Amino acid sequence: KWDVSNVVDFTRIFQGKDFFNEPIGSWNVSHGTKMVMMFSKAQTFHQDISAWDTSNVTDMSVMFAKTAYYNQDSSAWDTSSVIDMRYMFYKARSFDQDILTWDMSNVT
């Protein structure tokens, strides 16, 4: 079990990890501010991470880009601090969840 409770930058942690599909939904990511390309090209990742505390994240750009199977509900995420969501779901072939509840008022 990994303790990521003090991690601030999750950039590219699983990028390109084609066979990564571990249950990481219980991770404490509350100190995280960057999730840039976190799962980009992680083809098989499809775990439930809906309980993550994303309230401090400012950059989610390219987070799920080019994922093949990710299609989990993340509607409860607190995105009020996010400034950059560019290409977050670019070519995320399976993703079709409702994210209309997200607060995107700070996204530029």
Domain ranges of the chain: 1-93
**What is the spatial distance between Cα 73 and Cα 1, in angstroms, rounded to a whole number?**
24
pLDDT reported for residue 92: 96
> Is residue 1 predicted with pLDDT exceeding 80?
no
Structure tokens at 53: 């505390």
Across the range 62-83, mean pLDDT stands at 97
- Neighbouring-strand partners of residue 84: 59
Phi and psi (nearest 5°) for 49? -120, 25
Across the range 53-80, mean pLDDT stands at 97
Across the range 30-44, mean pLDDT stands at 97
| pLDDT tier, 2 (very low <50, low <70, confident <90, very high otherwise) | confident
> Is residue 89 predicted with pLDDT exceeding 90?
yes
Q: Return all residues near 1 (Cβ < 8 A) that are at least 6 apart.
A: none
Mean pLDDT rounded to a whole number for the chain = 97
Residue 36, number of CB atoms within 10 A of its CB: 21
With tokens 């098989």, the residue in question is 44
